[in-house]
Structure 1
Amino acid sequence: MITVEAPDNSKAKAATGLKAAVGILEKWGASGEQGTAILRVSRSTYARAKRSDPGWEVNLDEDQLTRISLVLNMHAALRIVFDNPENLYGFMAMPNHNAYFEGKAPLELISQGGILPLYEVFKRIDSLRGAQW
């Protein structure tokens, strides 16, 4: 019996996710340094994702994929909450005086590099959408 295996395109999928996350971070106003800390990737990988070279592939670990997922899901939640681009893309850079943020912008907290602040900010943003899914 002949078996045919599907090609492993996980590196291409990882590159697509990384490119999307980098694009979102750029729209949020994140610097390159912040973006590399949030996604835990090298400056060269971040710059390559920003360029969106066709056919580019990248090998990412589970932590990096989780970070990309959190950024994409924060963006999805913000798209539900806000209709206007100023809030959709500006919210992450706005000082927030709610519990946990203590006057800091969400972008400031998630750019510290830890996965826990990234997850905590995601949970709080996700809760804004309420039952709107």
Structure 2
Amino acid sequence: MIKKAPIGLRAAVDILEKWQESSDQACRILRISRSTYSWAKQRNPDWSVRLDSDQMQRISFILNIYAVLRLVFDNPENVYGFPAMANDNELFNGRTPLEIMSQGDMISLYETFRRFDVLRGAQW
């Protein structure tokens, strides 16, 4: 099923930019084209985009990771900086969460979300 979702996409693009993710990496994480990325940044109220369920799930993971960070951290430096910090968790092995998510596959994004979700007390 294809859905129109410019608001969620715009939010995810904004978050990835605040996490200091490059446009190429953001496109890989969200599985969108560079032109879709550019349109999302323009905030044109008449713009719409068709996204498939995979893209919608990717947007959801980014929004949920951001929500977890806002719950766990009080300061914006950690909310926006934590994904770019080296992490010694078993999944990351000294790499940043953004490096893992930027691999572009859904499993990496999902596993990164799981590690973040544990920070708020979720049990997996």
Normalised by the length of structure 1, the TM-score is 0.88
The one-letter code sitting in structure 2 at the alignment partner of 1:105 is T
Query: What is the DSSP-based 3-state SS (H/G/I as helix, E as strand, rest coil) of the residue aligned with 1:113?
Result: coil
Match of 2:68 among 74, 77, 82: 77
2:107 pairs with one of 108, 113, 116: 116
Verify: 1:27 aligned to 2:18, yes or no.
yes
Is residue 67 from structure 1 mapped to residue 61 from structure 2 by the alignment?
A: no
The amino acid that maps onto 2:6 is A
C-alpha displacement of 1:54: 1.4
List 4+ stretches of structure 1 deviating above 4 A.
none
Secondary structure class of the residue paired with 1:69: helix
SS in 2 for 1:74: helix
Per the TM alignment, residue 56 of structure 1 is displaced from its structure 2 partner at its CA by 1.1
Whole-angstrom CA distance in 2 between matches of 1:61 and 1:105: 28
Identity between Structure 1 and Structure 2 (%): 59
Aligned-pair CA distance for 1:52: 1.2
Q: Does 1:99 align with 2:68?
A: no
Amino acid aligned to 2:25: Q
The match for 1:46 among 19, 22, 37 is 37
Q: What value does the CA root-mean-square deviation take over the aligned residues?
A: 0.9
**Equivalent residue number for residue 6 of structure 1:** none
Residue in structure 1 matched with residue 49 of structure 2 by the alignment: 58
Q: Which has the larger radius of gyration?
A: 1
Aligned residue identity for 2:85:
M
5+ residue gaps in structure 2?
none
Cα offset, 1:53, TM superposition: 1.2
Q: Deviations over 1:5-40 (max 9, x none)?
A: xxxxx52xx111000000000000000000000000
